[in-house]
Amino acid sequence: MTDPNDPEPRTDAGAPAADPLVAKAREAHEDAYVPYSEYAVGAAVRTGDGSVFVGCNIENANYSNSLHAEEVAIAEAVKNGHDEFERVAVSSAARDGVTPCGMCRQTLAEFGAESTTVVCDEGDCVTEYTLGELLPNAISLETLEAAEAARDADD
């Protein structure tokens, strides 16, 4: 379900079938392990060189040990030497326009720019956001350096 607090979509990109990254995310959610919620999610990330990595959610009876689809896709990309993402697609089996959760948004911000496109599958269409729209003022190296400088100035 789309979060009512999410910003307005930047663009409506049209039919998911026309977006190969959404197709990869849809394929990925078929592999999800979701015995508790039965809410399968797939994600696909495209790197700066065009490589695509996918992931699905993996639940655990201890929910805090569950893995999100975006986390799995990101881990696969990083494991293969990629740390810059241009585009991300997310799809649930419900095709409800699911967006990345806050934790996944912050993790995506580690590897993407504010302009990184996040595509959400709504079934008959897809909706695009920028990462900056979904997570304004993300915590970054610059944020941490500014906080450290402020602490040092107070000493």
pLDDT tens track for 50-106:
999 999 999 999 999 999 999 999 999 999 999 999 999 999 989 899 999 999 999
101 is in an annotated binding site: yes
Q: List domains and CATH numbers for the chain.
A: 11-154 (3.40.140.10)
Distances (CA, A) of 114 to 25, 79, 121, 150: 21, 23, 20, 24
Residue 3: pLDDT band with limits 50, 70, 90: low
61 labelled ligand-binding: yes
Q: Residue 129 corresponds to which amino acid?
A: Y
Does 3 or 130 have the greater pLDDT score? 130
* pLDDT value for 8: 59
Rounded CA separation 33/107 (Å): 21
Q: Binning pLDDT at 50, 70 and 90, where does residue 1 land? A: very low
pLDDT category at 2 given cuts 50, 70, 90 is very low
Ligand-binding annotation for 62, yes or no, is yes
95-125 residue pLDDT tens: 899 999 999 999 999 999 999 999 999 888 8
Give which of 119, 133, 126, 41 is closest to 85, Cα–Cα: 119
Tokens (6 digits) for 8: 């307005």
- Is 60 annotated to bind a ligand? Reply is yes
Residues marked active site are found at 70
Number of Cβ within 10 Å of residue 65's Cβ equals 9
The distance in angstroms from the start CA to the end CA of the chain is 47
CB 98 within 8 A of CB 16: no
What percentage of the chain has pLDDT greater than the value 70?
A: 89
